Homo-oligomer: A and B are copies of this chain.
Amino acid sequence: MKVAFIGLGNMGTPMAQNLIRAGHDVTVWNRTPAKAEPLKSQGAKLAKSAGEAAKGAEIAITMLADDNAVESAVLHSEGVAEVLPKGALHVSMSTISVALSRKLAEEHRERGQHYMTAPVFGRPEAAEAAKLFIAAAGEKSAVERAMPVLEAMGQRVFVMGDKPEMANVVKLTGNFMIATVIESLGEAVALARKYNVDAHTYIEFLTNSLFAAPVYKTYGGLIADEKYKPAGFRIRLGLKDMRLAIAAAEGVDAALPLASMIRDHMLTAIARGMEDMDWSATAKLAAENAGLR
């Protein structure tokens, strides 16, 4: 299929590579062109703008950092929305707000284009191995059309519903749930340490009994090691995602009290000097708040 792939960060690059490997005709664009270069030898065409990439595409995929980046690539003049052929499909895979997702749906509808969402769960290594989990949402025909492309990037695609914003909500609540795991580990490890329980022994116990899931192993290990740098996912990005989850909830008159608390802890961690750290640094805050160190 003729695919435009927009956004070549740590996640986007391996995702685009998997599309090339799967035999799709891929044109890529990235704000910093240097990141696009290596894909050329692998068979990608390089575009000079997001709009140029989308020209003539059947499917345009956006995998960008945040709302601003997506708006700028899609909605500005000569952006994706202006250029994408009638009947073509925009698959938004970025972690964006419900509000922007609704706006994109509207803009594409007005132009006779299709729009769906397919945010991903997984780290760069999972992206490389085409092992991402993908939550897709949109009209049935759109999702079906995108399926071969999505399956080239992920190990499993879950269809969440027929409104694009549904998968955005799934992505945002998923990140909220990971943040909750981190917060609970942070508080529990701090308390265990106050009672002189060794943090590694404690995590070893948790992750080999009730909490034998990768997310507990990954973050439990970081917290036991007190290794908050380099950041796998920066705390300010975590803060942004909590803000988006809270906004998504406010949009339907619902509170997420746990997300509010975690958001406040993230802000406090940043204010107290942990801005450069991983979002698991809320565990460092919990330890400091317990008087450790």
Using a CB–CB cutoff of 8 Å, the interface residues on chain A facing chain B are 98, 121, 133, 135, 156, 158-161, 163, 165-166, 169-170, 173-174, 176-178, 180-181, 183-185, 187-188, 190-192, 194-198, 201-202, 204-206, 208-216, 243, 245, 248-250, 252-261, 263-265, 267-268, 270-273, 288-291
CA distance A167 to B180 in the complex (A): 24
The listed residue with most B CB atoms (<10 A of its CB), out of A181, A195, A212, is A195
- How far is B156's CA from A270's CA once the two chains are assembled, in angstroms? 38
Tell me how many chains of this kind the complex includes.
4
- Closest B residue to A264 by beta carbon equals B255
Separation of A20 and B222 alpha carbons in the complex (Å): 42
Q: Which residues of B contact A205 (CB under 8 A)?
A: 133, 135, 158, 160, 170
* Contact yes or no, B204 A158, CB < 8 A: yes
Flag if B204 contacts A210 (CB, 8 Å).
no
B261 engages A289 (CB within 8 Å): no
- Shortest CB distance A114–B (Å): 20
Given contacts A210-B214, A258-B258, contact A291 B264 (CB under 8 A): no
Known: A180-B180, A271-B290. A195 touches B169 (CB 8 A): yes
The reply to whether B166 and A196 contact each other, CB–CB distance below 8 Å, is yes
CB distance from A264 to the nearest CB of B (A): 4
Please judge, given known A-B contacts A161-B197, A191-B249, A261-B261, whether A210 and B176 are in contact too, CB under 8 Å: no
User: How far, in Å, is A24 (CB) from chain B's closest CB?
Assistant: 24
- Say whether B256 contacts A271, CB under 8 Å: no
Q: List 22 A-B contacts (CB under 8 A).
A: A133-B210, A156-B208, A158-B209, A159-B201, A160-B201, A161-B197, A161-B198, A163-B195, A173-B188, A173-B191, A174-B188, A177-B184, A177-B185, A187-B257, A187-B258, A210-B213, A210-B215, A211-B215, A243-B250, A250-B267, A260-B263, A272-B289
